[in-house]
Amino acid sequence: MILRMDGNAVRTSGLPAVVALLGLFVGGCGSGTQTADQALNKALETSGTTREGVGKFAGIVTIDGKPPGDMGFVRTLVILWDSKKPPTAKTPPAYVTCDEGGKFEFSTYGQGDGVPLGTYVVCFAQLKGGLRLGGGERGWQGPDQLKNLYNDPDKNKEIKEFVVEIMSPGKTDWDFNLQVSGKEPVTAPGPNAFTTVH
């Protein structure tokens, strides 16, 4: 399961109990001297799971050489496709939103610690944010303002700079410049293209 708060992705373990337990430990029902890191380890242990190794994955995205800027409710999303664990309705892809300057940073267990080690295909989309009726998880809807040029992992896996191997300790200086101006839009995105993200 990926737990998202304000667009940041946190891999829990597929068990909502981990999140609930973490809240109990951090909220004071556990030891009063426990750090957040110790509380997370205890919650993972209680749920029968273990912490995966992670590597930093952060950097900047520009569009036609410029930062995204203020786009109102629209944000530039950096989305990771793991071909060994493709996303499903219950386990959506890890993603984060870029700030106005194009900076992004992935988090799993702590702020900026990165993502589980492995090889990923990086995808990009500019989608409009919103809330589901009745509240709930934030979602992102198309149309993709990057013309569906970079949101398809099946196409991006053929582009060397969009296939990243995350090893410990990772990197924080990734630089992706997306060329959009003058390109024809993709009117029929592939079956795995990210035209919405939840």
> In which domain, by residue range, is 23 found?
2-46
Claim to verify: residue 90 and residue 13 sit in the same structural domain? no
Claim to verify: residue 22 and residue 81 sit in the same structural domain? no
Q: What is the spatial distance between Cα 54 and Cα 64, in angstroms, rounded to a whole number?
A: 31
Confidence class for position 134, pLDDT limits 50, 70, 90: low
Please write the tens of the pLDDT for every residue from 88-116.
Answer: 878 889 999 999 999 999 999 999 999 99
Mean pLDDT of the chain: 82
- pTM for the whole structure: 0.77
When pLDDT is averaged across residues 31-55 and rounded to a whole number, the result is: 69
Joined together, the tokens standing for residue 70 give 């203020």
Claim to verify: residue 31 and residue 117 sit in the same structural domain? no
Claim to verify: residue 111 and residue 191 sit in the same structural domain? yes
Burial of 10 (0-12, 13-18, 19+ CB in 10 A): middle
Claim to verify: residue 17 and residue 72 sit in the same structural domain? no
Q: What is the spatial distance between Cα 65 and Cα 180, in angstroms, rounded to a whole number?
A: 10
Cα→Cα distances 52→10, 11, 12, 43, Å: 12, 9, 10, 14
Claim to verify: residue 34 and residue 79 sit in the same structural domain? no
Claim to verify: residue 109 and residue 19 sit in the same structural domain? no
The answer, yes or no, to whether residue 38 has pLDDT greater than 80, is no
User: How many domains does the chain fold into?
Assistant: 2
- H or E element in which residue 54 lies: strand 54-63
Claim to verify: residue 41 and residue 62 sit in the same structural domain? no
Nearest to 191 by CA among 163, 155, 142, 158: 155
Q: What is the spatial distance between Cα 17 and Cα 150, in angstroms, rounded to a whole number?
A: 35
Claim to verify: residue 152 and residue 187 sit in the same structural domain? yes
Please write the tens of the pLDDT for every residue from 3-23.
Answer: 333 444 433 334 333 443 344
Please write the tens of the pLDDT for every residue from 168-181.
Answer: 999 999 999 999 99
Claim to verify: residue 31 and residue 83 sit in the same structural domain? no
When pLDDT is averaged across residues 27-31 and rounded to a whole number, the result is: 49
Examine the fold and report which residue of 46, 64, 79 is the final residue of a domain before the chain moves on: 46
User: For the stretch 82-115, what's the b/e string if a residue is b when 16 or more beta carbons lie within 10 angstroms of its beta carbon?
Assistant: beeeebeeeebbbbbbbbeebebbbbbbeeebbb
Claim to verify: residue 164 and residue 188 sit in the same structural domain? yes
Q: Identify the weakest region by mean pLDDT among 67-81, 97-111, 120-134, 148-162.
A: 120-134
Confidence class for position 32, pLDDT limits 50, 70, 90: low
Claim to verify: residue 25 and residue 113 sit in the same structural domain? no
